[in-house]
């Protein structure tokens, strides 16, 4: 007897061509000494820039571990704690952190914090709470590829994309929402809500206040839910300031029962391995139900205890948020300037762990196939695993998401060097390199740091394995061998 329909369909999304890049990387991963010509992983949105701050804190606070002599008195109580409310101190600490990541402009209630198995588990869980099978959520594109799996696979909820275009910097417009909503109605699809990622993955931009307000008005008017995935909230490194839906709720008339936030510590703190996902809902029924559902993906109590200690330390949190933001900003600057120097522009961004790179001028055909062709060239010839826009359901070919925070600085320069070489060769004949910036009101900055093209001694690089990698290898396996 065969397995279920869910187990045998492809809705997990792993058969897509998107994973070819990972396969190439897994077969031939870059290492500065051992494999300097290998593929550099630029498809993984990880924040590796501020581990030292966390490690330092952990070393100074052995009591945060339940295994050290300083913390072992807590071992038993923590090890048996499986209450789906989660440790009170954990919820308080997370609520505190979330508030600080929003500049103290909003306060979060620890009793509305529900655990999820990473944001992956949290996003699936909120769908189970808000929508029935065959109902739909509107999702502005381009969007995070794994939404296809997280929101739809086991829930049978549909995704209805809302196309955003480069003509207005991929911002969501009320019109686009209305059109998508209308289209869904015509197809007899019941729309239960709208999900946004703010700051955006893959754009790296924060939503402006006015747009957010209009979204809240829209969902309120239609009486549908708004799920704001704010997983990149503390990766904002330059203005404009991050505006959370939690802030805007206070400024626009809306039914709070429609507003829900998904969060995680995977990006802001750089701790995806600890699986700390959060659903924060202003709807009491959703909190109650979500809490019961969280049994399917509770955060390890050992981790709850550690995080509770760490994020209750205000001095640490304040310092971390400031420093992390600064480091991300610097990395972003190095990378975007390096790209600009070879005529490659990116969407102007102020957040995230990646840039939305415009390679439209390098396409042979302005079609999805043209984009795929260019992408394969980048993987196999330039040896960079970047993510093609089509995998984010972008409606316009030629855009690529490129991650910059999952490697050390030296590797960034190696990548830029390769891009320089490629951009020189990959141009269309007769066309000089265009150092064109998207926004005309910003003067092009040509800061020529000699480091960009220096062959300095490389520091060891983290070799990362993707969670979606079909290859059964982990960084810890590689570390041993």
**Smaller CB separation from another protein, 457 or 476:** 476
How deeply is 86 buried, as exposed, middle or buried, from its count of CB atoms within 10 A (0-12, 13-18, 19+)? buried
By the 8 A CB rule, do 12 and 149 touch?
yes
Residue 152 lies near another protein (rule: CB under 8 A): no
CA torsion through residues 101, 400, 140, 287, sign: negative
Q: How many residues bind another protein (CB under 8 A)?
A: 80
Q: Does 144 qualify as catalytic in the annotation?
A: yes
Which token pair is 62? 């052995």
User: Segment contacting another protein (CB under 8 A): 181-189, 293-301, 397-405, 443-451?
Assistant: 293-301
Pairing of strands 345-346, 136-141: unpaired
- Rounded to a whole number of angstroms, the minimum distance from the CB of residue 322 to another protein is 20
Q: How far apart are alpha carbons 89 and 94 in whole angstroms?
A: 8
- Rounded to a whole number of angstroms, the minimum distance from the CB of residue 238 to another protein is 25
Q: Which phi-psi region, left, alpha or beta, contains residue 219 (left: φ > 0; alpha: ψ -120 to 50)?
A: alpha
x/- mask, another protein, residues 204-233, rule CB under 8 A, reads -------------------x----------
Which token pair is 161? 């994309």
Q: Which of residues 37-66 bind another protein (CB under 8 A)?
A: 46, 48, 51, 54-55, 58, 62, 65
Q: Which of residues 461-480 bind another protein (CB under 8 A)?
A: 462, 464-467, 469, 472, 474-477, 479
**Smaller CB separation from another protein, 289 or 458:** 289
Residue 481 lies near another protein (rule: CB under 8 A): no
Q: How far apart are alpha carbons 201 and 50 in whole angstroms?
A: 20
Of the residues 148, 229, 268, 410, only one is catalytic, namely 229
Q: How far apart are alpha carbons 58 and 35 in whole angstroms?
A: 33
Give the DSSP per-residue string, 366-421.
SSHHHHHHHHHHIIIII-EE-EEGGGGT-SSTTEEEEE-SSS-HHHHHHHHHHHHH
Q: What is the dihedral of CA 290, 292, 298, 301, to 10 degrees?
A: 120
Q: Does 267 qualify as catalytic in the annotation?
A: yes
Q: Which of residues 240-269 bind another protein (CB under 8 A)?
A: 257, 266
Among 200, 211, 220, 283, binds another protein (CB under 8 A): 283
Q: Which phi-psi region, left, alpha or beta, contains residue 127 (left: φ > 0; alpha: ψ -120 to 50)?
A: alpha
Among 154, 166, 417, 418, binds another protein (CB under 8 A): 154
Among 16, 238, 300, 360, binds another protein (CB under 8 A): 300
Q: Does 229 qualify as catalytic in the annotation?
A: yes
Among 177, 207, 271, 405, binds another protein (CB under 8 A): 271
Q: Which of residues 362-401 bind another protein (CB under 8 A)?
A: none
Q: Does 263 qualify as catalytic in the annotation?
A: no
Q: Which of residues 8-27 bind another protein (CB under 8 A)?
A: 8, 12, 14
User: Segment contacting another protein (CB under 8 A): 76-84, 181-189, 416-424, 449-457?
Assistant: 76-84
Of 475, 14, 128, nearest in space to 272 by CA: 475
> Rounded to whole angstroms, what are the CA distances from 224 to 41, 382, 427, 436?
39, 45, 47, 41
Among 15, 104, 239, 273, binds another protein (CB under 8 A): 273
Task: Please give the positions annotated as active site.
Answer: 144, 229, 231, 267
């Amino acid at each position: 007897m065969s397995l279920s329909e869910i187990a045998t369909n492809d809705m997990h999304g792993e058969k897509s061509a998107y994973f070819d890049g990972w396969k190439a990387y897994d077969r031939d991963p870059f290492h500065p000494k051992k494999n300097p010509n290998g593929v550099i992983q630029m498809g993984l949105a990880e924040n590796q820039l501020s581990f030292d701050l966390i490690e330092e804190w952990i070393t100074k606070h052995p009591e945060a571990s339940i295994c050290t002599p300083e913390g072992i008195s807590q071992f038993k109580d923590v090890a048996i704690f499986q209450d789906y409310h989660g440790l009170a101190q954990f919820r308080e600490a997370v609520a505190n952190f979330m508030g600080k990541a929003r500049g103290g402009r909003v306060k979060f209630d620890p009793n509305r914090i529900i655990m999820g198995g990473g944001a992956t588990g949290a996003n699936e869980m909120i769908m189970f709470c808000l929508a029935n099978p065959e109902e739909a959520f509107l999702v502005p594109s381009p969007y995070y590829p794994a939404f296809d799996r997280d929101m739809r696979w086991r829930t049978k909820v549909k995704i209805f994309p809302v196309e955003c275009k480069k003509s207005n910097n991929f911002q969501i417009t009320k019109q686009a929402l209305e059109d998508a909503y209308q289209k869904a109605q015509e197809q007899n699809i019941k729309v239960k809500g709208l999900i946004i990622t703010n700051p955006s993955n893959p754009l790296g931009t924060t939503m402006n206040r006015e747009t957010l307000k209009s979204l809240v008005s829209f969902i309120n008017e239609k009486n549908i839910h708004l799920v704001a995935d704010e997983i990149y909230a503390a990766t904002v490194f330059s203005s404009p300031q991050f505006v959370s839906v939690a802030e805007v709720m206070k400024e626009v008339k809306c039914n709070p029962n429609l507003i829900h936030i998904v969060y995680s510590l995977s990006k802001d703190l750089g701790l995806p391995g600890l699986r700390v996902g959060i659903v924060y809902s202003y709807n009491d029924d959703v909190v109650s139900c979500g809490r019961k559902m969280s049994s399917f993906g509770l955060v390890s109590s050992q981790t709850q205890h550690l995080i509770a200690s760490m994020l209750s330390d205000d001095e640490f949190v304040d310092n971390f948020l400031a420093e992390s933001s600064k480091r991300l900003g610097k990395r972003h600057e190095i990378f975007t300037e390096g790209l600009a120097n070879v005529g490659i522009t990116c969407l102007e961004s102020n957040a995230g762990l990646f840039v939305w790179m415009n390679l439209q001028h390098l396409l042979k055909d302005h079609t999805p196939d043209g984009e795929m062709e260019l992408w394969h060239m980048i993987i196999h010839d330039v040896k960079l695993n970047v993510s093609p826009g089509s995998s984010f359901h972008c409606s316009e070919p030629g855009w690529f998401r490129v991650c910059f925070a999952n490697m050390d600085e030296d590797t960034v320069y190696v990548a830029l060097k390769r891009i320089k070489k490629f951009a020189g060769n990959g141009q269309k004949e007769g066309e000089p390199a265009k150092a064109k910036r998207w926004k005309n009101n910003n003067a092009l900055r040509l800061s020529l740091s000699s480091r960009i093209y220096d062959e300095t001694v490389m520091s060891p690089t983290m070799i990362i394995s993707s969670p979606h990698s079909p290859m059964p290898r982990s960084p810890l396996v590689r570390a041993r061998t």
